[in-house]
Chain A
Amino acid sequence: MLKRKTKADRIFLALNYMILTLTGLLTIIPILHILAVSLSDSRAVMANTVSIFPKGFQLEYYKYVLSKHDFYTSYRNTILITVFGTALSMLFTVLAAYPLSKPWLRGRKFLLMLFVFSMIFYGGIVPSYMLMKVLGLIDSLWALIVPFLLAQFNMLVIKSYMEGLPVSIEESAEMDGAGPTRILFSIVLPMCLPVLASMTLFYAVGYWNNYFHARMFISSPEKRTLQLYLNDLIISATQLQNDMTVEDFLNLSPGGVRAATIFAATLPILLFYPYLQKYFVTGITIGSVKG
């Protein structure tokens, strides 16, 4: 197959690169600044004189964030929740999306209304807390998974994608006598890899970043999550109490602590993303199932 590059195409490509590079720069420069702050001497941080390179390189902020025993327990907890939660969520979501993607399913409209309705109406933290209490999940890591077991939005995205798949393959499989479960796992899911990858990412990030539920439902120090730990760290750097530990205060501006916590929290996701990325890249024909 020939790929002829016309002049218009070349102009388009050039413009494309220009716009994207500009966007990339616009995005990366502030990030570099934050990175620099996290590595800078606290007097420069306090005076806000750091640009995009560290001023007075020091690792104190990272030491502060990483040095406490709490950090490792909270990290472990977050990883546990994220891995199991994401796996469970994807299972629940895919199982719900597939039937709902069949336009001829009886009761479909009603069920979808249910999902959308529950997406928009919210009873408040008070009844949710009560529910958790009744289920015996207060102060349990499970309480951080349950709220995200099925994000209706993610389910709708997957459903929408499934609706866009060619019907012919499924129909021929049905003719061959395959049941819906078989069709789902053997045929449909492999065709859905892009959306499965992006929803896995969404769930993983949702679990990883969750702060609100952890703050509400967790009391025991050893069950705290990463976000809880980091947030408390930031607040403690900002609190000017008469009785604060003076030594910590001398070296640690809140700005620097904040910056270091950002990278401590985000790095794992940054490492996780490349694995999923390949499913987003256009042009890869995934198996030979399309067309």
Chain B
Amino acid sequence: MHTKSGGKEYWKRYYSLYLMLIPGLSYVVIYKFLPLVGLTMAFQDYQIFLGDNILESMMLSPFVGLDNFKRLFAYGEFAHVFSNTIIISLMKLFILFPIPIILAVLISEVPSIHYKRTLQTVVYLPHFLSWVVVFGILSTLFGSYGAVNELLTKIGWKPIGFFSDPQVFRWTLVFSDGWKEMGWGSIIYLSAITGINSELYEAATIDGAQKMQQIWNITLPGILPTIAMMLALRMGGILNAGFEQILVMYNPGVYSTADIIDTFVYRVGLGKMDYSFGTAAGLFNSVIGFIMVIGGNYLSKRVTEHSIW
């Protein structure tokens, strides 16, 4: 019974909980919130050398209101790269979100511990590769003169432009991202599955439930809080379609479908050191992301009754 009513009882019993919060909270306030002052750069024409130090420069730089945003939206390409960002992000969401979950379930159902361990280690290795390395391998295999296209022409098909055909390239992005991250992404779900009460499974087996039924009725509901939270947070990243990956793997031939907000801003801002512009683009991204997280969390609350807060 918790002392839900206010008053001294509550504080006397639970003050230590608030003490516990002090390290984490002060860290978040100091290291994460204080620098948010920098967001004012988005509304300025920030010149880094104006003052004697960075902060002074922030106070001295002229205020330009929404000019940076207007500049961003005024680019003819903006609507286009915005839609590319959303499309690629949604593709990745729908296709790639379930995969680590399925993988975690499959791995957890394997009886042999040695097989489990080996497979887990193998499957999370690609996470440690840089996209440059992954691209090197992919371009060798899937390039216009690569092994895959060689095979295709041998059996009489036309070669596929995995990296040069704008329509195909998005799929290349999605599946290579899946390959690289599905193993690592399954760790969270694996640990969540481990937390499910094993007696539930025993009871179900006694009742005659089969594997698929057990998975559907015990495992998945058991990790539903994790899934819901991951989904809500994932939606917060809706405008992050994979900057690092796309920057390495794209080329001017596929800009029409693969140029995202981040890569576009990157190219436009090359060498310019325009902190204001970059901050404005980032702020735009964050605002949309935050709205999405709130929205995603609300949905999750409605459908699964689990919420981040």
**A-B complex is real:** yes
A residues adjacent to B (C-beta < 8 A):
1-4, 6, 8-9, 12-13, 16-17, 19-21, 23-24, 26-28, 30-31, 33-34, 48, 91-93, 95-96, 98-100, 102, 104-106, 108-109, 111-124, 126-131, 133, 146-147, 149-150, 152-153, 155-157, 160-161, 163-164, 171, 179-181, 184, 192, 194-195, 197-198, 201-202, 209, 255, 258-259, 262, 265-266, 269-270, 273-274, 277, 279-285, 290-291
A198 in contact with B210 (CB, 8 Å): no
| Residues of B close to A258: CB separation below 8 A | 130, 132-133, 136
| Residues of A close to B16: CB separation below 8 A | 179-181
Question: Chain A's interface: helix, strand, loop or mixed, by majority?
Answer: helix
Q: Among B183-191, B245-253, B256-264, which stretch is in contact with chain A?
A: B183-191
Q: How far is the CB of A286 from chain B (nearest CB, A)?
A: 9
A4 in contact with B205 (CB, 8 Å): yes
| Residues of A close to B20: CB separation below 8 A | 95-96, 98-99, 180-181, 184
| Residues of B close to A279: CB separation below 8 A | 191, 194
Name the residue among A31, A102, A184, A279 with the largest chain B CB count within 10 angstroms: A31
**Contacting B37 at CB < 8 Å: which of A16, A24, A127, A285?**
A127
Nearest chain B residue, comparing its CB with the CB of A30: B137
B278 in contact with A124 (CB, 8 Å): yes
Number of A-B contacts (CB under 8 A): 264
* CB contact list, B231-256 vs A, under 8 A: 233, 236
B132 in contact with A150 (CB, 8 Å): no
B126 in contact with A112 (CB, 8 Å): no
B194 in contact with A284 (CB, 8 Å): yes
A16 in contact with B106 (CB, 8 Å): yes
Name the residue among A109, A150, A201, A209 with the largest chain B CB count within 10 angstroms: A150
B225 in contact with A108 (CB, 8 Å): no
Contact residues on B (Cβ < 8 Å of other chain), bracket: 35 or more
Closest 10 CB pairs of A and B: A96-B24, A127-B38, A123-B38, A123-B35, A118-B32, A112-B309, A127-B35, A194-B194, A99-B17, A194-B191
B31 in contact with A149 (CB, 8 Å): yes
A95 in contact with B24 (CB, 8 Å): yes
| Residues of B close to A266: CB separation below 8 A | 125, 128
How long is the Cα–Cα vector from A102 to B17 in the complex, in angstroms? 10
Nearest chain A residue, comparing its CB with the CB of B126: A27
Q: How far is the CB of A59 from chain B (nearest CB, A)?
A: 20
A273 in contact with B35 (CB, 8 Å): no
How long is the Cα–Cα vector from A273 to B206 in the complex, in angstroms? 35
A-B contacts, 23 of them at CB < 8 A, read A12-B109, A12-B212, A13-B109, A16-B106, A31-B122, A106-B6, A111-B25, A114-B25, A115-B28, A126-B46, A127-B34, A127-B35, A128-B38, A146-B31, A157-B226, A160-B226, A163-B225, A195-B191, A198-B187, A198-B190, A258-B133, A269-B128, A280-B191
